[in-house]
Amino acid sequence: MGPLQGVRVLEFAALGPAPLAAMLLADLGAQVLSIERPAQPAADAAPLFDPALDVLRRNRRVLRLDLRQPDGLRVARTLARHAEVLIEGFRPGVMERLGLGPEPCLRDNPRLVYGRMTGWGQHGPLAQRAGHDINYLGLSGMLHPIGRAGGDPVVPLNLVADGGAGGMMLAFGVLAALTHARATGAGQVVDAAMSEGCALLGSMIHTLRAMGRWSDRRGDNLLDGSAYFYTTYACADARHVAVGAIEPAFHQRLLLGLGLDPAEFADPMDRSLWPQRRQRLARVFALRSRDAWCEAFAGVDACVTPVLDLAEAPRHPHHRARGSFVELGGVSQAAPAPRFAATPAAAPRPPGDADSALLAEWGWTAASG
């Protein structure tokens, strides 16, 4: 099931965005075989993640290998010969030291797409430095604009660098290289750096800045929450609504829905008026609960929506109607996306161990050593 059915992906399991890229490919039908380290004793296991609850491991078959041992390395090399895509998310040089770098793998399998996920890229002054999502986002310039005027930059979870700039950018690059490999027979290395992906995701902000419509001052711009018509408001029950009424028609409907006179809100792009007007709207929104306001704006195209928490989101009628969330192993999670009319993705499955029949398809049997 899915448009990537028949694509073989060998994943060297790691933390961070590389597993997201592999999950995206697996969701859409690719056969992902994930090589994980042998199970550690409970006392030595990393406390941060429980593999049984890790959403990113879904739709995989798992093979546990000790790559520091000759037998484990031999199996991994055999599997890489039969893969179309290889994904790894370690620091530069780790795979080379294991004997699984691009040179031997592409020599054995010239059609291989070798996808590499790092924070800083495979070369450069910072290539060997440690980092996390927040560091890559900060260096890209895209963390600085996020936050209130006079306040500190606000961390947008790990959605930007790990998610959009990391896992999704790697998946995009891998599929582009796979298209080339299938057309020409020539594989290649895909060097995906989260710091570069963050900068690329900020292309629209760079466009607005070049046009003179974006200030380098935090909390002074159209899309950073400072505009009274593009921000969040606290309601009487301390929950919030999100308002995105940028266009004139939405702006007018927003004000009418709040019982305000649009004539008093002329020149909405005059930034000097934003703080005062935001305070005025805040006083109105604080008079009713979040759900009361959502009911008042139901059926009105004013771009007013509730800010749902993680437990509420799957229960929203729109998500329920589309099946946007699924439950797997007792864990609520997003369903595969996007949707495909002719080749829909199958429902997510928990990871399973690779059996001898599957490994034989990948060119390895017990007899092969």
Which residues 6+ apart lie within 8 Å of 37 measured at CB? 13, 64, 65, 66
Structure tokens at 183: 């057309």
Instruction: Give the whole-angstrom CA distance, residue 286 versus residue 240.
Output: 9
Q: Is 132 annotated in the active site?
A: yes
50 by Cβ neighbours in 10 Å (0-12 / 13-18 / 19+) ranks as exposed
Catalytic residue selected from 132, 144, 237, 355: 132
78 sits in which H/E element:
helix 70-81
Instruction: Give the whole-angstrom CA distance, residue 242 versus residue 239.
Output: 10
Structure tokens at 286: 């604080």
Q: Is 319 annotated in the active site?
A: no
Q: Strand 230-234 and strand 85-88: pairing?
A: unpaired
Instruction: Give the whole-angstrom CA distance, residue 232 versus residue 241.
Output: 6
Smallest CA-to-CA distance from 30 within 146, 175, 169 is with 175
Q: Quick one: CA dihedral 208, 210, 211, 215, positive or negative?
A: positive
Coil/strand/helix, residue 254: helix
Catalytic residue selected from 133, 162, 191, 224: 162
Long-range contacts from 73-77, C-beta under 8 angstroms, 24+ separation: 73/98, 73/99, 73/100, 74/369, 75/364, 76/12, 76/35, 76/100, 77/104, 77/105, 77/108
Active site residues: 132, 162
